[in-house]
């Protein structure tokens, strides 16, 4: 009894609901009002739950939560939930890509219009790879990606698009037999490397440069082997090649053998021959069984896009 009298009892303050103005102020949450004009003051502010735009079916909210994921530690529950989401996205990619056969991934800018010379070259490359029964993989968007997919379909080959979800939505181009949507860049990159036997890079921006240097790192560290990388467009890539040879090699930051996998050309025929010569696994993986299984992945098209699949597109 004496112990109970001497014990200092402190009552915990009542936990405020998340929508309470004091709670929002303490957590530095931006307060938005959903009060209609002329409504009584007892309609208190909320965290904006009722003021948000309604979500369309099948559409993601405009806010992309990867920034939160990469912005520092979260709660253990959130990190675990994110890990599970990444795991299931990997499973999704493995299942969808398993029977696409031997692939070559084509990178390049999304800003080139159909009349551009690089668009025409990428389209020719898609046709050339399709003639060798090689699947063409791109990011699935416009520009160089559309051109390579278009050439593959026109050549009777198989065309795959691996999209990355971004705040600005990117519509798939109409020349795809198989379309995959990824939330995380690193999962998408893993799929492109895992199922590809070579990369072909046309002139592009930061994304194209990122893929080139990540491939160079994987080859330099021995993570992948017999993986050629072709750069199409000598005039565009020459400043980068000069920097690598005259600065990086001269300073000793890379070895002389670290750039042997890169082949620069303006000729689509030279690019295709280099890939077939330097990636012998392509011919080894091309089999009648893969061709048969891959037919089941084809997505029939209707409307104006059906012409391209029947070889009537121009």
How far apart, in whole angstroms, are the C-alpha atoms of residue 180 and residue 309? Answer: 19
Q: Could you tell me the pLDDT band of residue 20, with boundaries at 50, 70 and 90?
A: very low
For the stretch 180-213, pLDDT in tens is 999 888 999 999 989 999 999 999 999 999 999 9
Question: What was the pLDDT predicted at 104?
Answer: 95
Sign of CA dihedral 86, 98, 285, 139: negative
For the stretch 55-79, pLDDT in tens is 333 334 444 466 677 777 888 888 8
Given a contact cutoff of 8 angstroms between Cβ atoms, the answer to whether 147 and 290 are in contact is: no
Q: What is the mean pLDDT of the chain?
A: 76
**Given a cut of 90, is residue 285 above it in pLDDT?**
no
pTM over 0.75: no
Token duo for residue 70: 């990469």
Residue 281: which H helix or E strand, with range? helix 281-285
What b/e string do you get for 219-237 counting C-beta neighbours within 10 Å, with b at 16 or more? beeeeeeebbbbbbbeebb
- Architecture of the domain whose range is 90-299: 3-Layer(aba) Sandwich (3.40)
Question: What was the pLDDT predicted at 23?
Answer: 41
Given a contact cutoff of 8 angstroms between Cβ atoms, the answer to whether 152 and 170 are in contact is: no
How far apart, in whole angstroms, are the C-alpha atoms of residue 80 and residue 101? Answer: 34
Given a contact cutoff of 8 angstroms between Cβ atoms, the answer to whether 126 and 202 are in contact is: no
CA distances from 256 to 2, 119, 126 (A): 83, 33, 32
The residue to which tokens 């200092």 are assigned: 8
Question: What was the pLDDT predicted at 78?
Answer: 86
For the stretch 125-144, pLDDT in tens is 999 999 999 999 999 999 99
Token duo for residue 26: 């303490």
- The domain locations on the chain are 90-299
Question: What was the pLDDT predicted at 302?
Answer: 34
**Given a cut of 70, is residue 280 above it in pLDDT?**
no
Lowest mean pLDDT among 18-22, 71-75, 206-210, 285-289: 18-22
**Burial classification of residue 283, based on how many CB atoms lie within 10 Å of its CB (0-12 exposed, 13-18 middle, 19 or more buried):** middle
Q: Could you tell me the pLDDT band of residue 164, with boundaries at 50, 70 and 90?
A: confident
**Given a cut of 90, is residue 29 above it in pLDDT?**
no
């Amino acid at each position: 009894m004496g112990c109970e009298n001497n014990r200092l009892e402190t009552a915990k303050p009542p936990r405020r609901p998340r929508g309470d103005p004091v709670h929002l102020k303490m957590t530095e949450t931006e307060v938005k009002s959903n009060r209609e004009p002329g409504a009584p003051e007892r309609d208190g502010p909320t965290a904006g739950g009722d003021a948000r735009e309604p979500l369309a079916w099948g559409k993601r909210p405009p806010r992309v939560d990867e920034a939160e994921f990469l912005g520092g530690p979260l709660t253990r529950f959130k990190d675990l939930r994110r890990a599970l989401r990444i795991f299931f996205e990997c499973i999704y990619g493995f299942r969808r890509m398993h029977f696409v056969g031997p692939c070559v991934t084509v990178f390049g800018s999304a800003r080139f219009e159909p009349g551009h010379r690089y668009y025409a070259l990428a389209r020719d490359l898609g046709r050339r790879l399709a003639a060798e029964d090689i699947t063409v993989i791109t990011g699935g968007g416009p520009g160089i990606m559309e051109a390579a997919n278009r050439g593959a379909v026109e050549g009777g080959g198989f065309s795959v698009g691996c999209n990355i979800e971004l705040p600005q939505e990117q519509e798939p181009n109409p020349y795809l037999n198989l379309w995959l949507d990824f939330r995380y860049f690193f999962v998408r990159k893993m799929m492109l490397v895992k199922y590809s036997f070579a990369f072909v890079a046309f002139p592009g921006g930061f994304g194209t440069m990122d893929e080139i240097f990540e491939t160079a790192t994987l080859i330099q560290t021995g993570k992948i082997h017999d993986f050629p990388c072709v750069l199409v467009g000598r005039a565009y890539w020459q400043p980068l090649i000069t920097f690598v040879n005259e600065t990086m090699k001269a300073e000793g930051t890379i070895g002389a053998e670290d750039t042997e996998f890169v082949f620069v050309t303006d000729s689509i025929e030279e690019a295709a021959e280099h890939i077939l010569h330097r990636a012998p696994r392509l011919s080894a993986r091309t089999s009648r069984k893969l061709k048969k299984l891959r037919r089941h992945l084809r997505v029939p098209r209707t409307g104006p896009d059906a012409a391209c699949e029947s070889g009537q597109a121009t």
